[in-house]
Amino acid sequence: MSAAPSAPAHAGAAPRDLPIGFADIEQAASRIAGRVARTPTVPSPILSRITGAEIVLKLDNLQAVGSFKERGAANRLALLDPAERSRGVIAMSAGNHAQGVARHASLLGIRSTIVMPTYTPLAKISGTAAWGADVVLHGETVEAAAAHAVWLAERDGAVFVHPYDDPAVMAGQGTLALEMFEDGPPLDALIVPIGGGGLISGCAVAAATLSPGTEIVGVQVAPYSALAQRRGAVAASLGGATIAEGIAVRDVGVLTGRVIEALVSDIIVAPEAMVERAIALMAEGAKLVTEGAGAAALAGLLAHRDRFAGKRVGLVVCGGNIDVRIFANVLLRALLRDGRLLRLRMEIPDRPGVLADIAAKIGGSGGNIIEVNHQRLFASPSVQSAELEVMVEARDPDHAAEIEAALARSYRVSRV
């Protein structure tokens, strides 16, 4: 469910007492220009047709490290003085902030150490190490990794670069919205994923100046929806596995929380299954590879599509660093859910020509056999029969039903 919409305390202009102002975002944009890509802002006709809203995408999955996170990292590191640079930097991250810090530390010749939770996807671990950072895996949660990173920073005298609760990081992330409002059409709403709140804080401050009529809506994934829970959107329950590990943060920061309270009008929640669906839709419809957090804005819209129907909605595609195996599994699960991948179990007579007959029936119905598992010795209840499992690709659910019916006329068939 969505939290009941409530107007932000200072709609139309950012209050003066917030941690950052629009000038900070403008200065960050100048500071990181040429080192961070100005990513495309593009319409998506296919997603617009599917969702019933006019969709505009901000493609920060196309950054060098595959995520918006290098905006804030680049701005924060550019502000270090010579003494701080000589001591090196340390950061904690489930992946994207890590790569942003590692890349820009490398560009500036600064030694970097990154603490990552032990569950961090391999793609993000290897990506971080590839930028020259020393990677330390510690803790089962982001909080445990963060505590260890702070301890290491104090022990070694390194500068701790917070992933979100830092004004320089928040201002850097706000350059995303600055570009989007400058490059794209006016928006009725901008949906932004929320982990610790750095991205939505920067975006909200930029919007207050550049597009005060645009509603800023945050989206959290269900297992990590503390902010939405405080606004009464869902029953209290936190933690657990999620494919959107990039926003698997138990709560927003102190500084980011102040901006969110002032300028973000609504927080919506995306169920885990909807995030998977959004990843698949991004791949098949928009031709974009996105991680769970990167697809969260679309997932939130899909979960609350009536709320955004007929509106021009900006979606922040904040990251594309998804493990290849997980990505493949998500796409296969989407095909199964959509009825385009059909798994059938059949009890068949154990005699010559039966497999050829089944293949002919599937082929004659326009199906494509993906996999066959034929058990003759142990799975069948009779030595005169065999058990066959077959995976078939179909065009759509109706086509899958046609294939199943064609087989059922001759064999006992059940879906797996």
Q: For residue 365, what pLDDT is reported?
A: 95
Q: Could you say which of 3.50.50.60, 3.40.50.1100, 3.90.180.10, 3.90.1150.170 is the CATH number of the domain covering 69-161? A: 3.40.50.1100
Q: Taking the chain (416 residues) in consecutive chunks of 10 residues, what is each chunk's mean pLDDT?
A: 39 74 98 97 98 98 96 98 97 88 96 91 85 92 88 96 96 98 97 96 98 97 84 63 88 94 95 96 96 97 97 97 92 90 89 91 94 67 75 93 94 90
Helix (H) or strand (E) holding 372: strand 368-375
CA angle 251, 193, 276 (to 5 degrees): 105
| pLDDT computed for residue 307 by the predictor | 97
pLDDT in the model for residue 148: 95
pTM of the model: 0.88
Q: How far apart are CA 58 and CA 49, in angstroms?
A: 18
Comparing C-alpha atoms, which of 149, 140, 208, 144 is closest to residue 174?
208
Domain definitions of the chain by residue range? 22-67+170-333, 69-161, 339-415
**Topology of 339-415 in CATH?**
Alpha-Beta Plaits (3.30.70)
Does the domain at residues 22-67+170-333 carry the CATH identifier 3.50.50.60? no
pLDDT at 3: 39
Q: Are 160 and 153 in contact (CB under 8 A)?
A: yes
pLDDT at 281: 97
Q: Hey, what are 253's tokens? A: 């920061």
Q: What is the pLDDT of residue 384?
A: 64
Give the model's pLDDT for residue 5: 37
Condensed to tens digits (0 to 9), the pLDDT of residues 71-118 reads: 999 999 999 999 999 999 999 987 789 999 999 999 999 999 999 988
Q: What is the pLDDT of residue 21?
A: 97
pLDDT score of 376? 57
